[in-house]
C-alpha cells in the first residue's frame, strides 16, 4: 500500500521538477550569446570633419529659377538707395521684417555681385555659407548651430551629417519661425473600440 | 496492479493522440513551436536565424510584401541618449505620426507611442494643467508650451523589474525592449511605468498593407499581436544602422537630438554640459536617458 502511494506521487513530482528546470534555464543568460557579430559604433564616424571653417550643408532653398541673380541683374544698374521695391521683389519688400528700421537689402546682399552675400567687413560670401552672415549678429545661435543643438543636422548620428542652413527654417527677410497647422489630436480613450 | 497499468496505458495513448492530432494540423504546430520558443536572449545564432526566417514568411503571407527583419545586436561602446528642446518644440505633432508610420503602430484601434502634452506657461511643467487634445488652427499658442512624452529609456527601469515573464529588458546600448512573443499581456509593466509610455493591444492591431514599414527589427517595429505591450525603442531598427530615429528626422524645428552618451562629441553630451537640463519625475529615481532642455 505504502509503495503504491509513493509511485503515484513520483510522476507528478518529476514533471514539476522538469518544468522548474525548464523555466530556470530560460532566464539569466545575458544576450552575450549573439555578440559574435559585434559592430563598433564609431567605425564609420568620419573622424571629426568640422575642424575647418566650412560645414557640409544642404543646398540653399532658392525659389525656382531665381539663381543666378546676375542673369537678370546684369541688364540694369544697381540702385543702392533704401526704398520700397515695386518693380520687382515687391513680395520681399512687403514682408521685410528683420530689424527693418536699421537694415536694408544691401547690408546682406552685395551691391555689385548679386550672386554673393556680404559680411559687414565687406567680405563676399557664398550662399552656402549664409550662416556666417547670420552669425555676425546671432553669435550664440551660431555656436549652438555648429554643434548641432540649434537647428538640425541630417544624415547619421555616428557618421556623415549635413546641416540645415538658418535660412531653411528662417526666412532671412522675415525670420520669425512660421506657425504650423498641427496634426490631429489622438482619439479619446473612450472612443477607441 | 493490472488496473493501474491499464490506466497508465490509457493516459499514454491519450497524450500521444493529442500530440499527433496537433502535429497533423500543421498550422497549430507553428503555434506550438512559437509557444515553446525560448527567451530571445538565450537563443543561439542559428535559432535566431530560423525564427527570423519563419516570421518573414508569416508576414509575407499576411501583407504580401517582402520584409527585412533584423536582429542586429547593440553596437559596441554605445549608450543611446535623447534630448528635447522645450524652448523650440511648437507642438505640431509631426513626430507622433512619423513614429506611428515608422513603427507600424496600429491605426485602429489607435496606438500612439508619443503623446504631446500642452502645458500652460504660467504653471510650468505641471501634469495637472496639461492636455493632449489641444487643436488650434496653428501652433504654437502664445500662452502654452509643449512637452512630447514617450518611453524615457530609464537606466533604472521599473517596468522590466515587474515583468514576471522576463519579456522586457534593457539592452547593452540602453534601449529597453520587449519580446512580443514572450509578453503574456499581464500589463504589470504598464502599471509600473510612471510615464504612461507603454501601450497595450486590446484589439487585433491593424496596419494597412500599403502603409506597413518593411524595414524591421525583431525587438522593434515588427507587427505586434493582440494582447501584447509595446512602446518606443528609440527606433532600434534605424539607430543600430546609424540612422536617426524617425521623430528626430521629421521634427521641423530641430527640437529633437539623439546620439551616443559615451561619445563626448555628441550633441547630447554638449547639451548635458552646457544647457539647463531636466528629466521628468526625477524624484522617482528612474534615471531617464531622455532629457529635456532649454536651448533658448
- DSSP per position, A128-158: GGHHHHHHTT-HHHHHHHHTTSSS-EEEBTT
Rounded CA separation B65/B86 (Å): 40
Tell me how many domains chain B contains. Answer: 2
Residue from A5, A48, A157, A180 to probe the interface with B (highest B Cβ count within 10 Å): A157
Rounded CA separation B5/A189 (Å): 59
Write down how long chain B is. 296
Per-residue pLDDT of chain B (296 residues; tens, 9 = 90+): 445 566 666 666 666 655 555 555 544 556 666 666 778 888 999 999 999 999 999 999 999 999 999 999 999 999 999 999 999 999 999 999 999 999 999 999 999 999 999 999 999 999 999 999 999 999 999 999 999 999 999 999 999 999 999 999 999 999 999 999 999 999 999 999 999 999 999 999 999 999 999 999 999 999 999 999 999 999 999 999 999 999 999 999 999 999 999 999 999 999 999 999 999 999 999 999 999 999 98
B5 and B45 fall within a common domain: no
CATH number, residue B130: 3.30.70.20
B16 and B68 fall within a common domain: no
Residue B39, min C-alpha distance to chain A (Å)? 6
B66 and B194 fall within a common domain: yes
* Domain range enclosing B4: 1-36
> What is the SS3 assignment for A100?
helix
H/E element holding B102? Answer: helix B94-102
B144 and B180 fall within a common domain: yes
Q: Which of B78, B254, B267 sits opposite A41 (nearest CB)?
A: B78
Query: Is A89 inside a domain boundary?
Result: yes
B28 and B173 fall within a common domain: no
CA distances from A187 to A190, B5, B149 (A): 8, 62, 16
B26 and B101 fall within a common domain: no
B127 and B28 fall within a common domain: no
Closest CA to B194 of B130, B128, B281: B281
Its pTM stands at: 0.86
B53 and B146 fall within a common domain: yes
B193 touches A at CB < 8 Å: no
Bridge partners of residue B230, in order along the sequence:
B199
CB contact under 8 A, A157 and B38: no
Helices B2-24, B26-36: axis angle to 10 degrees equals: 110
Tell me if B193 sits within 8 A of B160, measured CB to CB.
Answer: no
B250 and B162 fall within a common domain: yes
Q: Which of B74, B110, B275 sits opposite A186 (nearest CB)?
A: B110
* Domain range enclosing A122: 56-169
Chain B positions touching A61 (Cβ under 8 A) are none
Residue A153, min C-alpha distance to chain B (Å)? 8
B223 and B142 fall within a common domain: yes
B196 touches A at CB < 8 Å: no
B67 and B151 fall within a common domain: yes
CA distances from B265 to A47, A179, B271 (A): 11, 32, 11
Rounded CA separation B262/B240 (Å): 15
B20 and B99 fall within a common domain: no
B118 touches A at CB < 8 Å: no
Tell me how many domains chain A contains. Answer: 1
Amino acid at each position: 500500500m505504502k509503495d503504491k502511494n509513493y509511485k503515484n506521487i513520483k510522476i507528478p513530482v518529476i514533471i514539476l521538477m522538469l518544468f522548474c528546470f525548464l523555466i530556470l534555464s530560460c532566464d539569466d543568460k545575458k544576450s552575450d550569446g549573439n555578440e559574435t557579430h559585434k559592430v563598433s559604433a564609431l567605425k564609420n564616424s568620419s573622424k571629426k570633419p568640422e575642424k575647418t571653417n566650412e560645414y557640409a550643408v544642404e543646398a540653399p532653398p532658392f525659389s525656382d529659377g531665381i539663381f543666378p541673380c546676375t542673369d537678370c541683374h546684369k541688364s540694369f544698374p544697381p540702385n543702392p538707395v533704401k526704398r520700397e521695391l515695386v518693380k520687382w521683389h515687391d513680395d520681399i519688400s512687403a514682408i521685410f521684417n528683420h530689424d527693418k528700421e536699421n537694415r536694408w537689402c544691401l547690408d546682406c546682399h552685395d551691391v555689385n555681385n548679386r550672386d554673393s552675400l556680404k559680411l559687414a567687413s565687406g567680405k563676399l560670401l557664398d550662399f552656402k555659407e549664409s550662416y556666417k552672415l547670420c552669425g555676425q549678429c546671432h553669435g550664440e545661435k551660431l555656436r549652438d548651430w555648429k554643434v548641432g543643438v540649434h537647428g538640425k543636422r541630417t544624415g547619421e548620428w555616428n557618421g556623415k551629417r549635413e546641416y540645415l542652413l538658418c535660412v531653411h527654417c528662417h526666412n532671412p527677410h522675415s525670420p520669425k519661425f512660421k506657425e504650423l497647422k498641427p496634426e490631429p489630436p489622438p482619439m479619446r480613450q473612450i472612443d477607441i473600440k | 496492479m493490472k488496473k493501474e497499468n491499464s490506466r497508465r496505458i490509457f493516459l499514454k495513448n491519450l497524450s500521444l493522440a493529442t500530440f499527433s492530432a496537433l502535429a497533423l494540423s500543421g498550422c497549430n504546430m507553428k503555434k506550438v513551436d512559437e509557444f515553446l520558443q525560448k527567451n530571445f536572449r538565450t537563443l543561439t545564432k542559428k535559432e535566431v536565424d530560423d525564427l527570423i526566417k519563419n516570421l518573414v514568411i508569416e508576414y509575407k503571407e499576411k501583407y504580401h510584401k517582402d520584409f527585412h527583419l533584423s536582429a542586429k545586436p547593440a553596437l559596441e561602446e554605445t549608450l543611446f541618449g535623447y534630448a528635447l528642446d522645450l524652448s523650440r518644440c511648437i507642438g505640431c505633432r509631426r513626430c507622433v505620426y512619423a513614429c506611428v508610420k515608422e513603427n507600424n503602430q496600429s491605426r485602429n484601434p489607435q496606438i500612439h507611442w508619443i503623446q504631446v502634452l500642452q502645458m500652460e506657461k504660467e504653471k510650468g511643467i505641471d501634469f495637472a494643467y496639461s492636455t493632449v487634445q489641444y487643436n488650434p488652427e496653428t501652433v504654437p499658442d502664445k500662452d502654452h508650451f509643449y512637452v512630447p512624452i514617450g518611453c524615457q529609456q530609464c537606466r533604472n527601469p521599473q517596468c522590466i523589474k515587474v515583468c514576471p515573464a522576463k519579456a522586457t529588458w534593457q539592452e547593452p546600448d540602453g534601449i529597453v525592449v520587449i519580446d512580443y512573443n514572450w509578453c503574456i499581456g499581464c500589463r504589470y509593466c504598464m502599471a509600473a511605468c510612471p510615464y504612461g509610455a507603454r501601450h497595450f493591444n486590446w484589439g487585433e492591431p491593424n496596419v494597412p498593407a500599403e502603409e506597413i514599414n518593411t524595414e524591421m527589427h525583431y525587438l522593434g517595429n515588427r507587427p505586434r499581436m493582440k494582447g501584447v505591450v509595446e512602446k518606443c525603442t528609440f527606433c532600434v531598427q534605424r539607430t543600430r544602422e546609424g540612422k536617426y530615429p524617425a521623430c528626430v528626422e521629421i521634427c521641423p524645428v530641430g527640437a529633437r537630438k539623439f546620439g551616443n552618451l559615451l561619445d563626448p562629441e555628441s550633441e547630447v553630451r554638449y547639451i548635458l554640459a552646457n544647457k539647463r537640463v531636466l528629466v521628468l519625475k526625477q524624484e522617482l529615481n528612474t534615471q531617464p536617458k531622455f532629457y529635456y532642455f532649454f536651448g533658448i
